[in-house]
A and B are shown apart, each in its own frame.
Chain A
């Protein structure tokens, strides 16, 4: 057992509220340069705070810098090493993209300035729309959605609006079923629900593909509005029958939505529009490398066919001659999904990513990402159960089937991987694979590090046979051990309170 290094000062940084000391300050503003009016004349006392902001910390600038620098060291990060979370596409985040997003002409631009004074920003939006349209093979693009799930909601609402317009409200009301594979991300059914659809699950075959017979059976009921498909699917396999799938859904009067979370396997190689997909969202914070920031911001552009374009959110950014402008005159639009125009700062970064790669570089990244996943698949197949035969694309799924005989489960393997210096893979997803371990290396990992990862996983497989307790008790090298999540959910403590108040409660 390795002793945890919790005695070190930087390992014991308390909450900022516990650091706070009355009278400390971390800021200085210029003195007020206008005549001061007695505050009672401006805002009556009953509308003003009377708690003197009690509890808000009082700390110096040094306190803040040490506080966050210390706690930052408790995080794993891409810059530290491979972050093989399946379905999350944790690739390198270029500092150049950060630099361009901080150019004052972008960073200090207010969203409500007149469009003639923001031509550069509109150009960024327009140009990115053009490239995303080219990459997906779909004509219409809106950059307004703020994240993948937001793009999904936008896309399924567009499907609903399209069918309403095509069939008339009365007929359309009979089509309220959204088909979703049982392997899908949880956001898919949650987004479909927001658009008022009833969700029906499509089974996956033993080989890991959409069950076409089940799809035909459900499509035959005549109530299908659409099918939400991830491709490559969440098992990392390309749905080779995609053309047929689209034909079945279209033949039944439905539309095909593609969850673009796994586009890192396809950019420059194949385009959803050419496969028959009607609408897709992309994750700029996955495929196009905008930083994930510990949980966002994301950006979830929605791309669609010409037929669906009238239903995209307002406003659209269009080009008249050499002038860019917002187009609000879109009577069939589903409406606005976010104030202003989306996460613009992420658009700047994604455009910089695309231009830094160029057409060749984008394809090269796709090839490298798939090759890295294949390499891991080949390296681990002798030690771990690989439930699907088909060659994986950018991510590969294994299970704990062999290790669980010794009482070592996926969670234990993931935690033990931390001791070897790696961030764990995605675990227990997709839900249809018992003890799933979904590994996505991305293109941002070199061969030595892949070898180290494979070696670490093999070593854990050996430990699972020879010394299972070592794995079950992992991690051993971190500041804290496994936290009791069940207890945390039973009696949730969701905020700090001063000692007296906490004990009184």
Chain B
């Protein structure tokens, strides 16, 4: 095996050095009756050429990967500068472990400190952690954190939060004594219903909303914060499309107490759903309740600045069952990719990307709304996603669009919701050219019965 340095002859010598004759004897401490008596049913080793051929063949069966696409809903196609992948594949970053030894891990630690700072800047918050697995698990952890802070057991979530995020939160809290209740959306605006907010009471730990929400509508986060705070609850804001930070008022400046986001938009490939990176930010006063790792500034005896993992007494390796979370390995390399993306795009690039997304989505929305039989059911302002109501069942429409026009036109909402058979969600980013948008519009037009 070419990844194993020692030759069979060297291994023979080493065996003798440790007092053994055969490799088999290395496993003498295992009772004979549990030792595997035959080789694993795994094929023989493949060479590089054979392996590449096999994986290229499998990849070619992912026909959707090469098609112009208007899919969003929690995973977004954005431009990623070439240097993002170049820099993260440097051995020093990509083959390093969690930075437990700060003297020889300053590269990773400083990058995480920059990541935490950027996340604070974009979310408008005071403290951010070193990352969570993804947006969905970050949301679940935010719910648990809200319970720890308020010691209240009721959590009210908007049904306009990503349905898979809500499903993950349900799984996480099922044995935690937290009750999650869902709020209706306003069918007129597409936002969380103001009427339904009456459900908030003094037993409520948190109100959880997403903005832009799953239907693409921008929530009035400041008003929601005020409502949540009026009953002593926290406001948790989820953001699945981090590109929106470039244009929209930050959740922090609207009064959010915990902000979680999916950072995939920042230079991370779609990769069929992962690995992505969860952003997690909160107020300074809650820093000791935050889940996961934190990097902080530190100095050596000569007064030189460096960075270390800090406030570790919150974490599982010290606090065990009393830890703020069970998370250990997070998404270090993906957080690094996001950091490089945010710094390369920078102040102007993050803003311009967001502006282009909003403008192109607005163009697409206007063109589609002009088609006979199609309408945009929700009136609230949007960023780069919007719901279209079709004259026919959306799932069939999108499937024909794919086969006849080679376009992935969006997401049929019947995947997640009953009674939304003709609705589909369209996402437009800076990577969609006007020609692609026009082709989508033409395609939709061709499907008018």
Contact = CB atoms under 8 A, between A and B. Distances in A.
Contacts of B54: 355
Tell me the dominant secondary structure on chain A's binding face. loop
B108 A75 contact: yes
Contacts of B408: 110, 113, 117
A206 interface: no
Interface string B88-105: 111111111111111111
Interface stretch (A186-194, A212-220, A399-407, A461-469): A186-194
Interface in A465-505: 475, 478-485, 487-489, 492-496
A52 B253 CA distance: 13
Given A104-B66, A105-B66, A359 B59 contact: no
Given A26-B349, A107-B271, A489-B296, A338 B43 contact: no
B268 to A, nearest CB: 10
Contacts of A71: 106-107, 110-111
Task: List 7 tightest A-B contacts by C-beta distance, closest first.
Answer: A293-B333, A340-B273, A105-B59, A295-B332, A196-B175, A358-B45, A111-B273
Interface string B265-302: 00001111111000000000001000001111111111
Q: Max chain A CB contacts within 10 Å: which of B112, B131, B300, B355?
A: B300
25 contacts: A27-B345, A29-B352, A56-B342, A58-B348, A59-B346, A78-B91, A100-B52, A108-B77, A110-B408, A119-B62, A153-B326, A267-B40, A285-B329, A296-B98, A334-B171, A337-B171, A346-B275, A391-B29, A447-B14, A480-B306, A488-B297, A492-B311, A494-B296, A494-B310, A496-B114
A48 B248 contact: yes
A386 interface: no
Given A191-B326, A359-B41, A16 B321 contact: no
Interface string B317-359: 1111111011111111111100010111111111111011011
Contacts of A297: 133, 274-275, 329, 331-334
Given A71-B106, A76-B96, A112-B75, 16 more contacts: A29-B352, A33-B434, A43-B248, A58-B347, A75-B108, A76-B101, A80-B91, A292-B98, A295-B333, A339-B273, A367-B23, A371-B14, A423-B104, A482-B103, A482-B301, A488-B297
Contact of A293 (B93, B100, B105, B299): B93
A147 B164 contact: no
Contact of A360 (B45, B87, B90, B340): B45
Q: Max chain A CB contacts within 10 Å: which of B97, B349, B399?
A: B97
B64 A117 contact: yes
Given A108-B270, A152-B326, A495-B113, A26 B62 contact: no
B75 A296 contact: no
Interface string A106-128: 11111111100111110110000
Interface residues of A, number: 199
A61 interface: yes
B449 interface: no
A129 interface: no
A72 B92 contact: yes
B5 A444 contact: yes
Contacts of A444: 3-5
B310 A489 contact: yes
B422 interface: no
A374 interface: yes
B343 A194 contact: no
Nearest to B25: A391
A295 B79 contact: no
A372 B15 CA distance: 9
Q: Max chain A CB contacts within 10 Å: which of B272, B321, B381, B382?
A: B272
B329 A298 contact: yes
Nearest to B281: A495
Interface in B184-227: 218, 220, 222
A355 B114 contact: no
Nearest to A291: B94
Contacts of A61: 81, 83, 344
B127 interface: yes
Contact of A16 (B95, B246, B343): B343
A348 B437 CA distance: 32
A43 B358 contact: yes
A79 B164 CA distance: 38
Interface string A387-410: 000110100000000000000000
Contacts of A37: 359, 362-363
B378 interface: no
B172 A51 contact: no
A253 interface: no
A157 B175 contact: yes
A290 to B, nearest CB: 9
Contacts of A93: 94-95
A225 to B, nearest CB: 11
Contact of A75 (B58, B93, B118): B93
Interface stretch (B31-39, B145-153, B228-236): B31-39
Contacts of A348: 55
Contact of A24 (B294, B346, B430): B346
A429 to B, nearest CB: 8
A341 B274 contact: yes
A168 interface: no
B167 A336 contact: yes
B59 A27 contact: no
A167 interface: no
Contact of B253 (A51, A150, A187, A475): A51
Contacts of B300: 480-484
